Amino acid sequence: MNQFTIYHNPRCSKSRNTLALLRENGVEPEIVLYLETPLTAPQIRDLLSKLGIEAADLVRRGETEYQQQGLSEESTAEDYIAAMAACPRLMERPVVVCGSKAVLGRPPENVLDLLA
């Protein structure tokens, strides 16, 4: 079976539910506590490629760090990527990766696409 990785925040219910769903389906993923081990800009770009989404779609706009990092609707993809690398709380969670594909665990059932 392919190796799974979850970028996880144990304080987030969606993240906990996604991890539980993986385990219920016989998957024990590598767990990356991305708040403790922030992703680099190249790692974020790689995740975006696997997710098939734009950087703006991975940013949590409701966090106070959004404004503190000077982000706005006019920010570029590189602005968002740099901000997520500098302040990992800005990244949506959880993200689950398997090989060259990834999904955002919002809702947690999205991970079932990686199991098919």
- Residues that are catalytic: 12
Quickly count: other Cβ atoms within 10 Å of residue 116's Cβ: 4
Got the DSSP string for 41-89?
A: HHHHHHHHHHHT--GGGGB-TTSHHHHHTT--TT--HHHHHHHHHH-GG
